[in-house]
Amino acid sequence: MEFSAQQIAGILNGKIEGNPDVKITKLSRIEEGVPGSISFLANPAYTQYIYNTNASLVIVNNDFAPTAPVSATLIRVESAAAAFAKLLEMYNQVKLNKVGVSKLAYISEKATVGSNIYAGEFAVVSDGAKIGNNVKMYSHVFIGENAVIGDNTTLFAGVKIYSDTIIGKDCIIHSGTVIGSDGFRFEPSPEGTKKVPQIGNVVIEDDVEIGANCAIDRATIGSTILRKGVKFDNLVHIAHNVEIGENSFLTACNVVAGSTKIGKNCMFSGQVGIVGHLDIADNTIVTAQSGISKSIKKPGGVYMGSPAFDANVYRKAFVHFRNLDAIVERINKLEKQSKATEEK
């Protein structure tokens, strides 16, 4: 892809200073700029780099006032950061705009497939599956029987969608993620441990993004549900019959045990663990490496620790945790002094 400075300025409604015909073929950071690349300057801490960058084109704020010569062509805009983000989005759309079905893909004659789809090498769509319009299935994607994939959803390489899973529109699922595998349920008996059949499914609503190598288990009965706008980082595990509320964010290595219900707009940092059969109120924030062992009823709270409790209380208590050795030494010393006084 090649664009001129004039074309890019038109897209961004910017004003050019320099050569309007300079050609751009790639994006770069300003400190790593190379000829033919476009970068941006938004953070004043990086101003030094604009005077020696090799980038051919740099987007700057309207109020940027150089104190030395700048060799790169400039495009002045109201917000350089917002303008560059717009370019990143456009670049990504063009880069991922794949269509067509590979000769090495398999789509069952009993499947229903929309228009303008992409199916890469060794992608498989099973009997009874329903694939919407503009769906992208990269190589080695597997769609199980009777699964539903909504319009404009992208499944990157190696995603596995088990049977009966329902995925909404405008979703993004990254490589290695497995959706609809069996929930972890076993019952001990005199004859040995027996697996409890998992006959439910997974329902994922619109505008959900799931990172790489996540695992979302099907329900025992009913559905495991991710509501609209949910966002997962990599390596998140969701157990059977869990429900995640709208627009909640779970970062890497979160684990949610079976039948727990998480409210709307929650934010969980890395390595949070939540035991089963709990209710977590809307707008709850949980800090990294915390363990939630009981339900949270009050919306909008912040929790930390394992077991987790109110973050403000935890921070105050932590002052004493850090000084525990010194406190014990003082107590031992006082006990010895008290014993000596009693003996006298």
Tokens at 6, concatenated: 């004039």
**pLDDT tens readout for residues 248-284:** 999 999 999 999 999 999 999 999 999 999 999 999 9
- Residue 112, pLDDT > 90, answer yes
Q: 291: part of which helix (H) or strand (E)?
A: strand 291-292
Residue that has been written with the tokens 């051919």 in this structure: 56
Q: Quick one: pLDDT band at residue 287, thresholds 50, 70, 90?
A: very high
**pLDDT tens readout for residues 147-189:** 999 999 999 999 999 999 999 999 999 999 999 999 999 998 8
- Residue 51, pLDDT > 80, answer yes
Measured over the CA atoms of residue 258, residue 289, residue 315 and residue 306, the dihedral's sign is positive
Tell me, what's the pLDDT at 336?
86
DSSP letter string, 200-239: -EEEE-SS-EE-TT-EEEPPSSSEEEE-TT-EE-SS-EE-
Is there a catalytic annotation at residue 277? no
Please state the length of the chain: 344
Domain ranges of the chain: 3-95, 100-311
HSE (side-chain half, CA atoms, 13 Å) at 340: 6
Architecture of the CATH domain 3-95 = 3-Layer(aba) Sandwich (3.40)
Q: What is the pTM of this model?
A: 0.84
| 197 secondary structure, DSSP code | P
Tell me, what's the pLDDT at 104?
98
Catalytic-role residue among 140, 174, 237, 240? 240
Angle value at C-alpha 276, between 272 and 279, nearest 5 degrees: 85
**pLDDT tens readout for residues 310-328:** 988 888 888 887 888 888 8
Query: What does the pLDDT average to over 210-235?
Result: 98
Q: Quick one: pLDDT band at residue 338, thresholds 50, 70, 90?
A: confident
- Residue 344, pLDDT > 80, answer no
Q: In the sheet where 130-131 sits, what is the strand order?
A: 112-113, 130-131, 148-149, 166-167, 201-204, 223-226, 243-244, 261-262, 279-280
Tell me, what's the pLDDT at 319?
80
- CATH fold of the domain at 100-311: UDP N-Acetylglucosamine Acyltransferase; domain 1 (2.160.10)
Tokens at 275, concatenated: 């035991």
Which are the contacts of 134, defined by CB distance < 8 A and separation ≥ 6? 114, 115, 116, 117, 151, 152
Would you give the end-to-end CA distance of the chain in angstroms?
92
CA distances from 126 to 164, 179, 182, 225, 321 (A): 11, 15, 19, 22, 56
